[in-house]
Amino acid sequence: MMHLKELLGKELYSHVVQKLGNKQKIVLISNGDWIPKDKFNSINEERKLLKSELKEKDNELIHLSKEVQRNEDLLREIKILKRLNKKLKEKHKNKIREIKFDNSLNEYIAKSKAKNPELVKKLIKLQYVKLYNQDPLWIEQQVKQLKETDGYLFD
């Protein structure tokens, strides 16, 4: 880059410096335009500030994108846990239903005065009872049938 002194020559340069004084400085821009040094400095400072702010915003975006990724991971994990929870609830619900059925069956067998309740329970065709929504009528019919065919099991 050429200096102003080289462009104007010594004589003209000294006239320009006298006219402007020592306080005013001039900067040469590559396209040949001239601007005051103060304006150049202020624009340059503004540019540096904007560049710094842009870098800061880029860092914020990177941080936010990481946060979004963490949130997405958490949402996926929540969905998985909800599915597992639903399966677990269903499993517990079925287990409770089974326990209630088993208790009802044991109670009915006890009321029927079975000598060996466990044996009577094994002889009852539970698949039919469960098939018909655990209807006590089916249990009653099967116990009656057992009393007729295997009366020695009851008092």
pTM of full prediction above 0.85: no
Structural domain boundaries of the chain? Answer: 1-32, 33-153
**Measured CA angle at 88 (ends 85, 93), to 5 deg:** 125
pLDDT in tens, 49-78: 999 999 999 999 999 988 988 999 999 999
Alpha-carbon torsion angle 139, 140, 145, 146, nearest 10:
70
- For residue 154, give the nearest of 106, 125, 112 by alpha carbon: 112
- For residue 24, give the nearest of 6, 45, 38 by alpha carbon: 38
Identify the DSSP state of 31. T
pLDDT in tens, 98-117: 888 888 888 888 888 888 88
- The DSSP element (H or E) to which 87 belongs, if any, is helix 37-111
pLDDT in tens, 115-141: 888 888 888 877 666 655 656 677 788
